[in-house]
Each structure stands twice: as C-alpha cells, then as structure tokens.
Structure 1
Amino acid sequence: MGCVSESTRPRRSLRPRRLRIAVALGVLLAVVAYVVVQYVTGGKGAPQCVVGSGNNTYRFTPEQASNAATISAVGTSRGMPERAVTIALATALQESALRNIRYGDRDSLGLFQQRPSQGWGTEAQILDPVFSAGKFYDHLAKVPGYSRLPLTVAAQRVQRSGFPQAYAKHEPDAALLAAALTGRAAASLTCTSGSTPVRAGDPAKVRAELRRAFGTRTVAGGGSAPDIAVPVRAAAAGSAGPEGATRGGEPPGEGSRDGWELAQWAVARAGTLGLAEVTYAGRVWSAAESQDGWRTAGSGASRSDEVRIRVAR
C-alpha cells in the first residue's frame, strides 16, 4: 500500500472539541456564580433579612444586618442625623458589602476598608465594627456641610477612594436601612431563621453590646436573666443633630422612633447574639415564627416605654 501524505490525510475537526470546552467553561462559570450568590445572600432555607416593603426592599444576610445595625447605632448615639447613617451604610456596602473582612487593597481592613498605615487604628481596632464606625463618623463630622452634599462627594471626602462614583449605586439600599435602623420606619426590618436552629445567647453579652452601641442606658434585668427591658427615651419630635439636620418625628401611633431603633437593632442582631424574641409597642418578632415578621402581640405586651428582648436559652 502506498503512503498517505500529510497533505492528503483527513484531519479531525476541532469544532466539537472547542464546543465541549466552551460548554464546560460555561458550566464552571455558572457554578462559581451560584456559589458566590449563595455565600452573599444565603441559599434556600438559609437565614436572611429584609428591609422595606412591596417592590422597594433590600434583602441581605444576618451578618450584614448585624453590621448595619452597629453602624447605625454608633451614629445615632453620637447625635448624627439619619443622612450621616445613610452615607456610612452606603460606604460600607461599597467597601465590604457590609462584611467585616480581614483583607483588601494593600493593608485595608474591615467594614470601611480602613488602613492601619494611614492612621485609622490598629488592625484589631479596625476589625471592631464599633470602633471602625466611630472613626468613619469622626471624619465625616469634619466635612463641612456633609448632610447637604451628594452622597458620593461626602463619602469620598472621608474615604479618598479610587472609584468615588461607586458609592452612588448603594444609596437606595442604604436609605432603606437607615430609615429602619434609626427608627423612622417602624416595623420595616425583619429577619428569618430559615432552617437554622436558633443558637443560645448570653444575656450579659447582649447587655454589653447594647451599652457599646447606644451608650449608657438603664437595662432592667441582670445576671443570667434571659429577659432584658430597655427603656425608651422620650425624645422631642424633630430634634436637631449635627449639620442642623433632624431625626424627624415619631411614627404616629406606633411607638417612638427611639423605641423602634432599639427594637430593629435587636432583630438585626438576633442571629449573632442568639435572641429569641423582641417586643415593642404591641408588636412582636420571634425567632420561632420569624417567617411572619412583626406580629401583633398580646394585650400585656403593648408597652411603648420599653423594648423587651428575650435571649434564647
């Protein structure tokens, strides 16, 4: 038999092989995207939180909710207005997706990606959400007219980011969070436990976190008692904060703004602190029935002068 030259030998088509590679790559990218989404937002049956109502909502994880609640509480305890809280939350959404991460560009760390080398604090301090939020507000308060500036401009004056316009896309979600966590939007934030069992909490730690976030308060119940009563301050409607901005009046007929700030802080932190129930102004949220959100409480739980928190045992 004669030899077949290279020029006349049939060549196997590369198209099927390339198609298989493309399909495999597409499947891999889809799996990676799915894993990322599950990590950030929680998969089916995972605990999650939601703020807002109707089509105007933002869904996020209990970890993100806990950090958002801390950022808000630190701001209001310093007398900062709701606008300042919105700016801080939008900044943290952009910088870390409201996660207290231990990495970033160069030596950036934490919720706001602050850098120890630039004088923001030690690594341990920056990874403390209360400290890092406080440092952000310290710098924001020095920005003249920050409450009247576009959010991107105010945030950039603090952060000095390479992508200052990136903060803008987070403003709607940050505004929803700020309205709930400063108490202006009553019963607008809730969290579900999903299929995850409620873990036991430590009453002493809950009291300590309340004091760290909101400053000195008289908290009823002590020691290992699982029931904690936090008094609600009687604040004048429309009281002014820094920059001349106001926190606004009280939700009509639904308790006070101060009360809803405390109550929704507790719900947002329920997963990290092991809270079983939060009751305020005739409404109750419970981990056992968290899918129902804020429900009407019994007649004996209609007090609006205190927020009652029950720690899971």
Structure 2
Amino acid sequence: MSPRQPSAAVRRRRRRLRTGAMLTALAAVVVGGSVVALGQLDRSEILVRERCSATVGPDTFELTPEQTGNAALISGVAVNRGLPARAASIAIATAIQESRLENIDYGDDAGPDSRGLFQQRPSQGWGTEEQVMTPLYATSAFYDALVQVPGYETLPITEAAQTVQRSAYPEAYADHEPEGRAFASALTGNSPASMNCTLRAPTGAGDALAVSTAADEIFGPLGGAVDGTRLTLDVSGTLGWATAQWAVANASMLHITSVAYSGLAWDRAEGGWSQTASEPGVLTVEVAGVTP
C-alpha cells in the first residue's frame, strides 16, 4: 500500500509554516546586517539632533544652530556698539517672537511686506527689502530705534519692544524674555562657558580666515592671526567670552571643531566645556581640515 498522502489543507498549512520560517530567518539576516552596518557608521551622523543651549543659573534653553547663529549676531552687534546685555535680551526676545530667529522672506496679515529677523517693513521706512533681509543691517536698524526709547534698559520688555516694533500682539514679547535673557547673557560674554552646541561631525573643511572675517564683521577688527586651520585672537574679558561663545554658536555653519579661551575649551566631538591649558587673553579657534 502506498503511503497515505497528506490532505490539501495539511499541505497548505505546511507551506505557510515553511514560508514563515524563511521570512523569519531572512528578517534576522537583514536586521543583523543592519546592526552591523549601523555599527560601522559614525553614531553622530545617526543619533545627534543638532541643537545649541544657553544655561544661566538653573535654567537651560535650546535653539537650533541657525537660530543660535542669529542670536549670536544680535548679541555681537550689541557688544560692538557698547550696549548693555539688556539691549541684546530685548532684541533676541523680539526676534524670537517676530521670526523664530530665522531670516524669513515673507510677512503676515499684520504686515504682508514684513521681512527678516525682526519682520521690518520697507513700507514703514525700515529700509529696502534687500536691506531688512540682511541680518547685520536689520539688527543695527533695530538697535538704532531701541536706543531712542528713553530708559529702555529698565522698561518691561513688552514696552521697550513694542515702542520699536508697534506690533499687534505686544504682550507676546514677554513670553520669550527668559530665553532671550539666557542667550544674551551667554553671547555678550557675561556668563562664561554657558553656551554649548551639540553637533554632528563637520561635513566639509573649514576656513579659519573666513571665521576671522565673520568675527570682524560682527565685533569690529579683532586682529586675528591665521595659521592653517587655527585662528588666534588676542581678546580679553567680556569681549573674549563673547567672541568665544559666538564661535561655538556658529560652529555648525563655519565647520569649527574646537574653541579654547581662559583655561576652558569647547570640543565639538565631546560637547560642553572642559579645562585646558591656554594662554591668558588668547582665544583659539580650530576648524575642520581637508576631508579625505
């Protein structure tokens, strides 16, 4: 007698089981291969959410690298003009409310021709569209108006900012005062080593001369010396810390890998500040070298 053949239902069930086992094995191979592949990649390229933070006292506030670079420009202009940190606090809080600290090229219902960091309107005499879309010009224009406000240093931020901006929502400026104060304190150099950026590895080579030129544009001539990938600046005190933390804030855009000043160093790969040997009054900035 020939062996009894399994029924059609049994055969179908066996095929499903074999197919399931094969898929499970394939998934294991794919997952295992993925794990190996991920392990071979730089963790910073996969896991890092790029961000910058200012910590003053118990409070820490975060912005994107783009936003932080603009906050650094706003603070640097205040330092260059000899304005108090309060002016930078007001300006940063205003720009957060108006544009999220982004150089946007569109307006809103209250000002369809508004542009730039402060949503300044060419039709209201702030300058041409090209000018208000230039962050350095826009910031200078804001401060030109702010310093005309009597006693702006002691006014509530809603009153000081509103006198300049004439917004339909003046109370909203106060919502951003805490982070405005924290970033202004760090980026004007009044809170040393309080600026940090968590960044991926640089995607290209940096240019130390470009860093020097950008710093001079914000702070005025600093007399930097460039040697390969290193920029050295003779700066001291509050200006030194303002410049050092400006460099950290712009590390993403300028491919900066480390900043050292006053016995402390910020390292892009490690994040945060740590002690280091450094010459007093000398700021050194390292940029990424030529990539293979």
Shorter-chain TM-score above 0.5:
yes
Return 5+ residue gaps in structure 2 as ranges.
Answer: 1-45
2:71 counterpart of 1:95: no
Q: Distance in 1 between matches of 2:274 and 2:187?
A: 18
- Render the CA deviation track for 1:230-262: whole Å, top value 9, x for unaligned: 1114xxxxxxxxxxxxxxxxxxxxxx2221111
Aligned with residue 205 of structure 1, among 179, 189, 210: 210
Secondary structure, counterpart of 2:269 in structure 1: coil
Secondary structure, counterpart of 1:149 in structure 2: coil
Secondary structure, counterpart of 2:117 in structure 1: coil
Counterpart in the other structure of 1:45: 48
2:263 counterpart of 1:260: no
Secondary structure, counterpart of 1:51 in structure 2: strand
Q: Is the 8 A contact 1:183 1:261 kept in 2?
A: yes
Q: Is the 8 A contact 1:140 1:146 kept in 2?
A: yes
Deviation at 1:108, TM superposition (A): 0.6
Q: Quick check: which has more Rg, 1 or 2?
A: 2
**Judging changes above 3 Å, is the alpha-carbon distance between structure 1 residues 44 and 61 closer, same or farther for their aligned structure 2 residues?**
farther
Aligned with residue 255 of structure 2, among 274, 277, 291: 274
Q: Distance in 1 between matches of 2:47 and 2:175?
A: 26
TM-score for the superposition, normalised by structure 2: 0.79
Counterpart in the other structure of 1:139: 145
**Judging changes above 3 Å, is the alpha-carbon distance between structure 1 residues 199 and 289 closer, same or farther for their aligned structure 2 residues?**
farther
Deviation at 1:118, TM superposition (A): 1.5
Secondary structure, counterpart of 1:146 in structure 2: coil
Q: Is the 8 A contact 1:198 1:276 kept in 2?
A: no
The one-letter code sitting in structure 2 at the alignment partner of 1:221 is V
Counterpart in the other structure of 1:288: 269
2:178 counterpart of 1:175: no
Q: Distance in 2 between matches of 1:275 and 1:121?
A: 33
Count of equivalent residues: 241
Q: Is the 8 A contact 1:74 1:133 kept in 2?
A: yes
CA RMSD for the aligned pairs? 1.6
Identity of aligned residues (%): 47
TM-score for the superposition, normalised by structure 1: 0.74
Stretch moving more, 100-109 or 163-172: 100-109
Counterpart in the other structure of 2:115: 109
Deviation at 1:307, TM superposition (A): 0.9
Deviation at 1:44, TM superposition (A): 5.6
- Render the CA deviation track for 1:111-159: whole Å, top value 9, x for unaligned: 1001112221222221211111111000001111111111110000100
Counterpart in the other structure of 1:217: 222
Q: Is the 8 A contact 2:56 2:191 kept in 1?
A: no
Counterpart in the other structure of 1:86: 89
Q: Distance in 2 between matches of 1:212 and 1:177?
A: 20
Q: Is the 8 A contact 2:209 2:231 kept in 1?
A: no
Q: Is the 8 A contact 2:202 2:288 kept in 1?
A: no
Return 5+ residue gaps in structure 1 as ranges.
Answer: 1-42, 234-255
Structural mapping, 1:17-32, within 5 Å: none
Q: Is the 8 A contact 1:73 1:213 kept in 2?
A: yes
Deviation at 1:68, TM superposition (A): 0.3
Q: Is the 8 A contact 1:136 1:158 kept in 2?
A: yes
**Judging changes above 3 Å, is the alpha-carbon distance between structure 1 residues 309 and 121 closer, same or farther for their aligned structure 2 residues?**
same
Aligned with residue 65 of structure 1, among 68, 77, 80: 68
- Render the CA deviation track for 1:160-211: whole Å, top value 9, x for unaligned: 10000000010011111111011111101100114x5443222232121111
The one-letter code sitting in structure 2 at the alignment partner of 1:276 is T
Q: Is the 8 A contact 1:259 1:304 kept in 2?
A: no
Q: Is the 8 A contact 1:278 1:286 kept in 2?
A: yes
Secondary structure, counterpart of 2:204 in structure 1: coil
Q: Is the 8 A contact 1:231 1:306 kept in 2?
A: yes
